[in-house]
Copies of this chain bind each other. A is one copy, B any other.
Amino acid sequence: MKFFKHILNESRSEADGIFFQKIQKIVKVKLSSLPIYKQAFTHRSLKVKNEEGRIISYERLEFLGDSILGAVISTYMFENAPQGNEGYLTKMRSKIVSRKNLDLLGQRLNLTDLILSGIPNEKLGKNINGNLFEALIGAIYVDKGFKACETFIYRTVIQEDVDLAQLEKRVMSYKSLMIEWCQKNKFSFEFVTEDDPGRDEEKHFSVKLIINNEISGKARETSKKRAEEKASQRAYFTFQNYIKP
List A residues at the B interface (Cβ < 8 Å): 52, 54, 59-60, 62-64, 66-68, 70-71, 74-75, 78, 83-86, 89-90, 138, 141-142, 146-147
Contacts and interface: CB of A to CB of B under 8 A. Distances in A.
A62 B85 CA distance: 11
A67 B70 contact: yes
Contacts of A89: 60, 63
A4 to B, nearest CB: 13
Contacts of A83: 52, 54
A86 B62 contact: yes
Contact of A63 (B59, B60, B62, B78): B78
Nearest to A70: B67
Contacts of A60: 78, 84-86, 89
A59 B89 CA distance: 10
Nearest to A89: B63
A71 to B, nearest CB: 4
B59 A78 contact: no
Contacts of A66: 74
A136 B65 CA distance: 24
Contacts of A84: 60
A59 to B, nearest CB: 4
Given A60-B84, A60-B86, A78-B138, 12 more contacts: A59-B86, A60-B85, A60-B89, A62-B86, A63-B74, A63-B86, A64-B74, A66-B74, A67-B71, A68-B74, A70-B70, A75-B141
Contacts of A70: 67, 70-71
A127 to B, nearest CB: 14
Contacts of A74: 63-64, 66-68
A243 to B, nearest CB: 25
B71 A59 contact: no
A55 to B, nearest CB: 9
A215 to B, nearest CB: 33
Contacts of A67: 70-71, 74-75
A70 B141 CA distance: 14
Contact of A64 (B64, B75, B85, B142): B75
Contacts of A52: 83
Contacts of A68: 71, 74
